Amino acid sequence: MNEFMLFADGDIDVPAAWQNEVTILPQYYYFEEDMIYGDEQVLPREEFFERLGRQRAYTAGVNPALVRTRFEEVLREGKDILCIAVSSGLSGSYNTICMVADALREEYPERAIEVIDSLSATLGAGLLCIDALEMKKEGKTLRETAAEVRRRLHLIDVYFVVDDFKYLVQGGRVSPAVGKIGDILDIKVTLTIKDGHIEPYRKNRGINTTLRNIKQISESRKTARLGVIYVGNQAMFEKCKSLVKSDCEASLNLIVASHVGPNTTGIAIEWAEENN
């Protein structure tokens, strides 16, 4: 059985306990085109949100040349690759990684590369990374692990609430019509990722009601894993964390944070199998 290494892209958040076992392919963000962050240059979190409050941030997907370099380093060591990517409905990174993988399969026919569209993002896809790492430790092959991760895609859900829809609207992640809902009478919308796209799930009056709604969702079925997502509002995060029974947490990467703003929190769930 050949050893394989696990990769994910910069739109995916892996809890701290597992971060050293996943190689992240960076994505990029910038406020001005002459200064791009995400790889060698990274803004401190507080400075990023301070600037985000004053000007729009733009984002870009993975760099194909860097993906090729990182993959080749592993392939030349005689190892195979499993890469879990952010939903292709939210970013072009999955397609870019697939393009690089196709070229490398021809150059390294003796090696195997599996690229999976997570149909999710942030900690939702991060839970799939944890699953893959645990399967690897159990001795499963690359093919077995990739097949099982794909089978579990339908078990992953992400639910979150944003305080200001302008970030999602200006980045094209939700329509202006959905954004207007949040501006009316302190209406907060619980959002979810469905079939790889961000969609409204439920409308509530006020943030506390919305967080209680997220609590109800988390208790509606048996969970295998549940994690809480911190963005930039510590009080909102702690409130959400106090309402759910979580077993992990992660800080939202600054790529996704560019599109949701600082006053955001939510949960990622991997539901338990129905027959368990």
Residues 51, 43: contact at Cβ < 8 Å? yes
pLDDT digits over 75-101, tens only?
A: 999 999 999 999 999 999 999 999 999
CATH 3.40.50.2300 for domain 4-153:
no
Sequence-ordered list of residues with C-beta below 8 angstroms from that of 90, at least 6 positions apart, any chain: 11, 121, 173, 193, 196, 197, 198
pLDDT digits over 171-212, tens only?
A: 666 677 766 766 666 778 888 999 999 888 988 888 899 999
Residues 128, 224: contact at Cβ < 8 Å? no
Predicted confidence band of residue 24 (pLDDT cuts 50, 70, 90): very high
- Rounded CA-CA distance 241/155 in Å is 21
Neighbours of 105 (CB within 10 A): 13
pTM check: above 0.85: yes
Domain boundaries in the chain? 4-153, 155-271
Fold of the CATH domain 155-271: Hypothetical Protein Tm841; Chain: A;domain 3 (3.30.1180)
| pLDDT: which is higher, 72 or 172 | 72
List alpha helices for 45-188, DSSP H: 45-52, 64-75, 93-107, 122-137, 142-151, 166-170, 176-181
